[in-house]
């Protein structure tokens, strides 16, 4: 490949840096989807039970795709939320706290208002989203008004959120057993549970916000060059505040799906969302420096992370390997998406 790039100019023009960065995540996803069944196939041959590659694969099956979808749906919502922030060139690390608080408040309100979606208890769903918006707004205020770098402001707010969830629950778990709410997981259309469709619907909303609204365009303007955006009359502070608030709403949706998935709301509901969602966004091709990428990249990123997690279990690798693989993956993704000529130094 290096030869063709050196010799043939059309190929070189075809394989521009921008284009590689744009399509690499999808390519990685495709390769992973073919690679895991291959390992599985090798394993079976070694065990003397050869099966047809891809066709009889346990990994490459509708049933497993549904499993990946269930694992990915809440993470996708959280990752989509943080995508907006990363497009602006900031970061939000508060998701674990926000998700926990939203999940817990949702469960409390839902049960207090009689515990079934068919009564006024459905109001707990918008209530949770409002709580998410409020937490995102406070997060944004701390970042914008106190002029604290977003990674630290949001990290601290995340600790506050986890602490608040712990305070509310006292460390207890709350079960949400309403069959209609749980149909997010139990009801299946075309082999996929409802929560996958819900997540997809919110992805479409996010895409609409990103590409069809002024706010969405403003995120890119801020991420592309804040001084320029400011000079051209944009109220950058307001855009940032709105971004963090919007992210909070998506974290709340992630919390609702997470509760729908396991039927339990607790302080630990938010665990692991931070690293998984940041990894997914970055691996999907949204640059940490802002201005590039979007929610479809995040979909690809979440799928890459979920496929890796699922595939490693299917081919029999122990679970502890996943943390290290994700750690290395996020570093690789940031390295590959960084244009070194344009970065003088990093903190």
Separation between Cα atoms, residue 232 and residue 336, nearest integer Å: 31
186 binds other proteins (CB under 8 A): no
Residues 29, 99, 127, 160: which binds other proteins (CB under 8 A)?
Answer: 160
228 binds other proteins (CB under 8 A): no
CB of 288 to other proteins, least distance (A): 7
98 binds other proteins (CB under 8 A): no
Residues in contact with other proteins, total (CB under 8 A)? Answer: 58
CB of 48 to other proteins, least distance (A): 30
Residues 17, 46, 63, 347: which binds other proteins (CB under 8 A)?
Answer: 347
Residues 61, 116, 186, 338: which binds other proteins (CB under 8 A)?
Answer: 338
Measured from the CB atom, the residue of 117 and 336 that comes closer to other proteins is 336
- Do 215 and 93 touch, CB atoms closer than 8 A? no
Which residues have a Cβ under 8 Å from the Cβ of 242 and sit 6 or more positions away? 140, 215
Burial 208-227 (b: 16+ CB within 10 A, else e): ebbeeeeebebbbbbbbebe
- Residue in this structure with the two tokens 């549970």, named with its chain if needed: 193
Q: What is the dihedral of CA 127, 131, 136, 141, to 10 degrees?
A: 120
298 binds other proteins (CB under 8 A): no
153 binds other proteins (CB under 8 A): yes
322 binds other proteins (CB under 8 A): yes
Element (DSSP H or E) covering residue 217: helix 214-224
Choose one: 25-33, 115-123, 204-212, 314-322; the region binding other proteins (CB under 8 A): 314-322
Residue 114's Cα: distance from chain center in Å?
Answer: 32
Q: How many CB atoms lie within 10 A of CB 333?
A: 25
CB of 215 to other proteins, least distance (A): 19
Which residues have a Cβ under 8 Å from the Cβ of 318 and sit 6 or more positions away? none
The binding site for other proteins (CB under 8 A) comprises: 89-91, 93, 142-144, 146-153, 155-164, 166-167, 170-171, 226-227, 275, 278, 282, 288, 290, 318-328, 330-331, 334-335, 338, 340, 343-347
């Amino acid at each position: 490949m290096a030869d063709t790039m050196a010799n043939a100019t059309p190929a070189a023009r075809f394989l521009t840096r921008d284009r590689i960065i744009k399509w690499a995540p999808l390519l990685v996803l495709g390769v992973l989807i073919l690679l895991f069944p291959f390992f599985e196939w090798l394993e079976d041959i070694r065990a003397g039970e050869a099966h047809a590659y891809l066709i009889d694969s346990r990994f490459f099956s509708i049933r497993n795709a549904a499993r990946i979808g269930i694992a990915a749906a809440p993470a996708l919502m959280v990752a989509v939320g943080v995508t907006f922030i990363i497009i602006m060139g900031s970061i939000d690390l508060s998701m674990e706290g926000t998700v926990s608080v939203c999940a817990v408040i949702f469960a409390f309100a839902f049960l207090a208002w009689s515990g079934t979606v068919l009564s006024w208890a459905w109001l707990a769903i918008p209530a949770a989203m409002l709580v998410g918006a409020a937490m995102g707004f406070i997060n944004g205020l701390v970042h914008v008004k106190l002029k604290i770098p977003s990674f630290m402001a949001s990290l601290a707010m995340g600790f506050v959120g986890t602490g608040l969830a712990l305070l509310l629950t006292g460390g207890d778990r709350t079960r949400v057993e309403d069959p209609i709410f749980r149909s997010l997981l139990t009801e299946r259309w075309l082999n996929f549970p409802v929560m996958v469709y819900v997540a997809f619907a919110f992805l479409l909303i996010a895409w609409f916000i990103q590409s069809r609204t002024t706010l969405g365009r403003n995120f890119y303007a801020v991420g592309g060059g804040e001084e320029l955006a400011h000079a051209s009359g944009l109220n950058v502070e307001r855009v940032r505040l709105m971004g963090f608030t919007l992210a909070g709403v998506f974290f709340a949706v992630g919390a609702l799906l997470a509760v729908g998935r396991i039927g339990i709301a607790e302080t630990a509901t938010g665990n692991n969302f931070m690293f998984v969602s940041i990894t997914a966004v970055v691996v999907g091709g949204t640059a940490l420096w802002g201005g590039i990428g979007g929610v479809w990249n995040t979909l690809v990123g979440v799928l890459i992370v979920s496929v890796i997690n699922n595939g490693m279990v299917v081919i029999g690798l122990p679970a502890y390997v996943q943390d290290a693989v994700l750690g290395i993956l996020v570093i690789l993704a940031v390295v590959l998406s960084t244009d070194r000529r344009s970065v003088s130094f990093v903190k």
